Amino acid sequence: MKTGIDCIGVVVIHYCNDGRGNFAMLKRSSKSRDAHGYWDFGGGTVEFGERLEDALVREMKEELGTEPISYEQIGTKDIIDVDNKKHWIGVFYTARVNREKVFNAEPDSHDELGWFTLDNLPSPTRPIMAEQLKDFRKYLT
């Protein structure tokens, strides 16, 4: 059975920020699972038996090399990719980090790491990001 295909999967998505309106984003490489060349906020699959908060901290350490100073769950959303027949439940978090400790901890999966404001996002971003930001932007300012 493949998670997200044969059964609905659960992912955590993190909006990591420095507390000054700047958000860490990662540009997905050709070796990423999907969305090659797109900028994204980051996150990943919740593993069997793992608590949501533990998955958040693990994903941040894996991708950004650091743990959050603080975090808050801001909502959930269905993430449905009709073209690839995938369905995930996304659990979204805002997470504050020490910017000086953040780095691209997965250079094989991400070509770049950058800091951006919500009004000056890089291009291209994942197609689903506009809808997600519309739903959660009020929690990110």
CA distance 28 to 5: 21
- Is residue 37 situated within a structural domain? yes
- Is residue 85 situated within a structural domain? yes
Tokens representing 41? Answer: 């906020």
Helix or strand (DSSP H, E) at 92: strand 86-96
pLDDT in tens, 42-94: 999 999 999 999 999 999 999 999 999 999 999 999 999 888 888 999 999 99
CA distance 30 to 79: 22
- Is residue 97 situated within a structural domain? yes
Domain at 49, CATH number = 3.90.79.10
Amino acid letter for position 41: F
CA distance 8 to 4: 5
State the pTM of this model: 0.92
Question: Around Cβ 74, how many Cβ atoms within 10 Å?
Answer: 16
Q: How many domains does the chain have?
A: 1
- Is residue 3 situated within a structural domain? no
CA distance 104 to 114: 9
**Residue 102 near residue 66 (C-beta atoms within 8 A):** yes
**Residue 14 near residue 72 (C-beta atoms within 8 A):** no
- Is residue 4 situated within a structural domain? no
- Is residue 2 situated within a structural domain? no
Residue 49 structural domain: 9-139
- State the pLDDT confidence band at 4, using cuts at 50, 70 and 90: low
Amino acid 42: pLDDT: 93
- Is residue 57 situated within a structural domain? yes
- Is residue 1 situated within a structural domain? no
